[in-house]
Structure 1
């Protein structure tokens, strides 16, 4: 690895606050986590992103068990959804300016609309890279727990603002329209594809919105949020994605 790249990645790792030893294997895996598929390189972020997805969910579950064990199961599920969301990952990545360390192919470099997705994917891959190098979730906790505390505080203070499905359901039932219906289909089998699932949400056979997501749950939440936005101007409350 080029010495300047090694120094760059060392600085990034130190800024995580994970308190980990900077070993050659760690630098290699972090470099891979920050190498986008568009570069055409065989060692790219995809495998680590796949691993990071599982590691993130487990670590977030442990965080909730440690700090919010009194929550009901449903509330735990809703909170975890926010602690592992693409939006949350992108925010963590933005705080690191992770895109400045990401190696991109020419096509991806020109796609400014994909900045949020690139940050989320790279952050998830970085989680996977750290875990693969260290084999230990505690480093992940040291890095992510401060971010999770901030998000959890906001979610628990105003839970409906972070759950579009709940907010839409309360609105539709309040209007005497019954429950919303979500029709979700898988459009791609590629892990990490932000448009892997497509969801259409309707109330009493009236389609309100369509949205996509990396999982069925995310697509449904996005569709609910889009429906609430479409209903703006009525008495429908607002919810963030």
Structure 2
């Protein structure tokens, strides 16, 4: 590892608040976590990503148990799904500017549409590297991620329809005796990572229609459902404000 690479990785470790990890072992692991298989088939982030996936779920579970012990098990599962989601990981990687630190082979360098996926994988691998470098200790992960998880949790609890729109819409439609929402989702482009790659329209009987876009079918449908829930809430507010 050259001196410039080492300096940049040390800066990354300081940014995420892990000042004590300045020794070669952790730096080598972080370097590996930011190396794609297209650049090195023997030393890359695949195994650390595998470790990071499990570590992330366990750490997120502990975070919820520590800070939100009174919410229901169902709410815990829904919240954890947001705290470990690909979107959340990609956003974290963006905050850390991991794109500038990734070592990519020629093929991966040319696939700009896949950068969000690479950022997600590298962030997960970085979590695995910190866990492995701290001798299987979760506390460094908590020190790093807890402030961001707290922010996300507040957002989820204050506006759950932005995150759990499909569940909320389904519960509403069944309570109204309208059956299940119907989603029609089409692929609009073939570019991975395109935020408007998929378009989804959701209908609930003849009473409600909304649309959403997303990088995946799941995301587009979630966004369409969230838009539908917003329509319902706006109607409720209007009805409540109307003179009787």
TM category (shorter chain) comes to 0.7 to 0.9
Q: Deviations over 1:81-137 (max 9, x none)?
A: 110011111111111101100001112112221221111111000000010111210
1:125 is paired with a residue of what secondary structure? helix
Distance change (3 Å), C-alpha of 1:67 and 1:45: same
- Shift >3 Å, 4+ stretches: 174-177, 179-182, 200-204, 226-229, 234-238
Normalised TM-score (structure 2): 0.75
Name the CA distance, whole Å, in 2 between partners of 1:128 and 1:201.
38
Equivalent residues, number: 212
8 Å contact kept, 1:30–1:129 = yes
Distance change (3 Å), C-alpha of 1:165 and 1:8: same
Which runs of 5 or more structure 1 residues have no equivalent in the other structure?
Answer: 183-193, 195-199, 214-218
Query: Residue 41 of structure 1 aligns with which residue?
Result: 41
Match of 1:84 in 2: 84
Structure with higher Rg: it is 2
- Tell me how far apart the structure 2 counterparts of residues 59 and 181 of structure 1 sit (CA, whole Å): 36
Describe the shift of the 1:203–1:103 C-alpha distance in structure 2 as closer, same or farther (beyond 3 A). same
The CA distance in 2 between the partners of 1:169 and 1:68, in whole Å, is 26
Q: Is the 8 A contact 2:202 2:221 kept in 1?
A: no
- After TM superposition, give the deviation of residue 235 of structure 1 in Å: 5.2
Residues 174-218 of structure 1: per-residue CA shift (max 9 Å, x gap): 663323599xxxxxxxxxxx9xxxxx99989xxx99x997xxxxx
**Contact preservation (8 Å) 1:53, 1:124:** yes
Q: Gaps spanning 5+ residues in structure 2: where?
A: 184-192, 194-199, 205-210, 235-244
**Aligned equivalents of 1:54, 1:150: Cα separation in 2:** 22
Aligned to 1:187: none
